[in-house]
Structure 1
Amino acid sequence: MDIALFADYDGTLALPEKAREERPLPPSLEEALRKLAALMPFAVVTTKDCQFVMKRVPFASAYACINGIEIHAAGYVAVAADVKYDAVESLYRKATGLNALVEPKRTWRGDIAGFTIDWRDSGIPPPGLEELVREASGLGIRVVKYSRHPFLDFYGSNVDKGNAVRILKALLGVKHVVYMGDSENDIPAWREADIKILVRHSLNRGLSIEGVIPIDYEHLPAYLQEVAKNVTDIKG
């Protein structure tokens, strides 16, 4: 088909509080996604690393991981050329001393290309976080902040999900994209999409993005089932 479905993972396919689980997708949502994946190219565009998300969504056609730093599609694996591995590794070691969950984001070769500092369990940002953010800025490490999400992302490259969408479109040979996301770091991807869907959940009720279609997470399976039915009818 000439249209593809691209989706963020954490907060979009999996609720934020479920994202780390081994089977985070509700059965009804996974069923709908599998139907669509059989009808059109389906890609996951995520801040997680590929090893993590491939285990949880193994039926996708392609993956753009670590905020677009690594892409798996059409038999190719590509990693951004400008990743500051040494600086990321140094910051990551310091971050592990904070009172928070620190999640490394590794490329297929095992190199740390980014990491997340997550304080959703404690509810407050850990002491020392602002000092680490200032150091990251001085090293040219990209820091992505969120208005209501209790975590920060650090990346060793300036690529974003918009770059990932453009590359995936080319590799998958599609002209049009439906993109589903839930937070500020999805804005570059929404700019590249033809249909923009904002998946609503408890952490993003106040997020307002012009031109997006809001859908509550609990209604997403039924919406995607209806899309799959319409696509099947069109293909006839």
Structure 2
Amino acid sequence: MDREEVEALVFDYDGTLSPIGSEAGVSRELLDILNLLKNMYKLIVASTRDCRFLMEKIGFFDAFVCSNGLEAIIGDVVVHKKGVLQIERTKKLEELKKMADEECLKVEEKMSLDGKLIGLGISWRRCGEKPNCIDEIIREAIRGELVIEWYQRPFVEVYVDKAGKMEGLKIANAILNIERFAYFGDSESDLESLKNASISVFVRNSYNSHLNPPTTYTVNEGELSSFLAKKFAR
């Protein structure tokens, strides 16, 4: 592979750059190779995590597509979907958060840069079975015209507006003048971006055995650093 084939490397975060559920973040080995690649490509992250979280973990990246495309930081430019500004929707999300009151639930708040709640990620992996409150939350989300993103695992996300990583990535590519990019992802929320990438890399981990998207490469999660060094760091 000629590294000049693409101008940017775009990564999902959880399950790609960092193990799912890990508080440790990106490994030192992977950070080292990413810092090397920054001299050759634009580095972009496209994640369901919020911007503050991503900037704290990988602040040296060139662009951050956050909260499943609802908000993005591209150099000195900040963009967001209209729904982020609709206070009644953020208030409804606050109500749903209170409903997720089972101790076994793991609730991730997705905050906008100005401090509003714009998304929730709710995992019941530790619960054994799906708590009744999940169905109640979904019913209320539908009633409040919020956007629900389902996954083929014990996890669901609710957002104030419809977006998607590829939608935010198109804006980042336009601002950064990127025509060809490589995309690295592991979940349902990455499928559209993988399909649109010049080079697509599916990252296999213990949570995505149900997925087999047609991609240029498939790499095991623990081998991403060596794959990047071999294929892109030339």
Alpha-carbon distance in 1 for matches of 2:217, 2:129: 31
Structure 1 residue 229, shift from structure 2 partner: 2.7
Equivalent in the alignment of 1:233: none
Q: Which residue of 1 aligns with 2:76?
A: 75
RMSD between superposed Cα atoms in Å: 1.6
* Contact 1:98/1:129 (8 A) holds in 2: no
1:150-198 Cα offsets, whole Å, 9 max, x none, are 3211111101111011111011111011111100011122232111111
Q: Please give the alpha-carbon distance, in whole angstroms, between the structure 1 residues aligned to 2:187 and 2:60.
A: 24
In structure 1, what residue type is equivalent to 2:76? G
Provide the TM-score with structure 2 as the length reference. Answer: 0.90
Letter of the structure 2 residue corresponding to residue 60 of structure 1: F
Who is 1:46 aligned against? 47
> Secondary structure in 2 aligned to 1:198?
strand
- Counterpart mapping for 1:91-130 below 5 A: 91-95=96-100, 97-99=101-103, 100-130=105-135
Segments of 4+ in structure 1 off by > 6 A?
none
Sequence identity (%) = 30
Amino acid at match of 2:176: L
Is residue 2:54 matched to residue 1:36? no
Check conservation: 2:65, 2:72, Cα contact below 8 A.
Answer: yes
Indicate conservation of the 8 Å contact 2:202/2:215, yes or no.
no
Please give the alpha-carbon distance, in whole angstroms, between the structure 1 residues aligned to 2:65 and 2:36: 21
Q: Distance in 1 between matches of 2:94 and 2:78?
A: 22
CA distance in 2, matches of 1:152, 1:79: 22
d(CA) in 1 for partners of 2:213 and 2:143?
Answer: 30
Counterpart CA distance in 2 for 1:14 and 1:118 is 17
| 1:154 paired to 2:168 | no
Following the alignment from structure 2 to structure 1, what is the Cα–Cα distance between the partners of residues 232 and 216? 20
TM-score (norm 1): 0.89
Count of paired positions: 225
3-state DSSP class of the match of 1:38? coil
Quote the offset at 1:123 in angstroms: 4.1
AA matched with 2:90: Y
Give the gaps of 5 or more residues in structure 2: none
Measure how far apart 1:32 and its partner are: 1.1
**Unaligned stretches of 5+ in structure 1?**
231-236
Q: Secondary structure at the match of 1:33?
A: helix
